[in-house]
Structure 1
């Protein structure tokens, strides 16, 4: 038996990536597509690469339009998912690609987002210890932030095995699609081309508390994080360099063994052979996170470099991966392992 899915926010980048993946999903049929200000316009006007859906017209994002589906994906601006989700029944699988239900700590939500906390849903990062059990049969799923996915997968094995101190530094170079489709002066071609620029510096980025939340869950110690994202002239992709001080006596062999063991059976998160370093091109349009780990002996630090496509594994691919688990389908269903090159 197949499942029907509605996508709210189908004209945006996350919505478009969800549609691209669902077009190749053998068990999910694409139903109603909705949008906000773009309602009433043809999808092809906003997603010209999705030719199989060229005849679709975007409906307004209302509960009435979204009802009647087995799965509802919410690819909406932060703060807009809660009202809709509350009106959809518990028999519907609602997968939120926004931030509304990611954080456990209401005070952290209010500090970083400035609105009342809507609650906490099962968390859609299957590779994080314990999450597959929480996602199995779930009717609500909160998809992680893209920076959160790459930083969590890069760092948690070292923390879980007590190999590093929980004093973490992450510098993540990212493409412009993570900022969404809405026009912004700092994202126009003449501003972004040929330039790198930091943003969310000094612990102010909204993904900060989410990364800390995830990594605290795998270690019994409080986690400190210095996270600096850097905007690069790329359409999509994140390359994160993540470091932490080694605990006394820890060797490079122990560190590599921990990552090899953690990811030995994972389909989508892979430790690369020694000497091969990730690049964003290696993950383009694939539901993969590729990692390399080493030890900087002079600095006494573990260094992990990780890459993913922020729209695929970082958003829509993570959503579909979690959907598969929630519905009891094989986790890999409809998700690409091969990237696009050159």
Structure 2
């Protein structure tokens, strides 16, 4: 899902109050009834961003004792959303004590950023503060599996922070150069923004260009050479492939030269597919579309026929992605999983007035 779409959904969430939610009841009363087969897909493009690296500084996490012991039930299941201060899955929920502005769903648990900018690890009933974002610069995560990255403010300048969630709560931090002006949202100097995490490698953009570094294993940063003097805008990196904007087109390849022209920006974890979304026809809202990253060919997706709008917001594995779907006059939003080239199934639903915040991709 694009940052623009996420910002729009976040604004909607901010404007609504906290509902009294019973996820299990929602599943029983509305969700499984909606578990029908869906049909085809169509859509268009997305955009991500860039950022920074250098000196490695391990940090000590601190327990947020005020938020402990707030879990109700198991938090299993592949799909999750946040509403105000609570993360919900089909099996249970956890309240982190403060309104959530961004979060990541990892195989180990969750990493969340609340309204104060505090970054917390959530694993079962244990909630531990691991970092601090600057709320005025926006709340964004990048991740691949259990490796999560974000940008932190600091008196000496911005720095990246990287956490291997499976290994615990120790965060590795590093500093980098100033990110140049690359988009219309910056008047002079853009804030540092991380492009992507691929495996254990962090991709970021600074004044030198696009760099890759594995700070968790203390590997040095490597500059990815640009071609023809044009500064690339990298959208995503996964499976060793880079999705980038070049001359107004999205291209996918192993470097910043050439590549396959494809209309999309969200690579599957293994780099095999590219996911995009955009309005498809005059009578339909946002719809997902999947492409083969090697050939650029569209791959059938079994979803678009049943719903007026379907946001494809996250890859769950190499060939399965998550969708938030609804009909134009419906009172439910449905959380759907789709297999590339296969079928889609509704997992559970929530009322449309719930201020749904989706996890970062």
The TM-score, its normalising length taken from structure 1, stands at: 0.27
More helix by share: 1
The TM-score, its normalising length taken from structure 2, stands at: 0.26
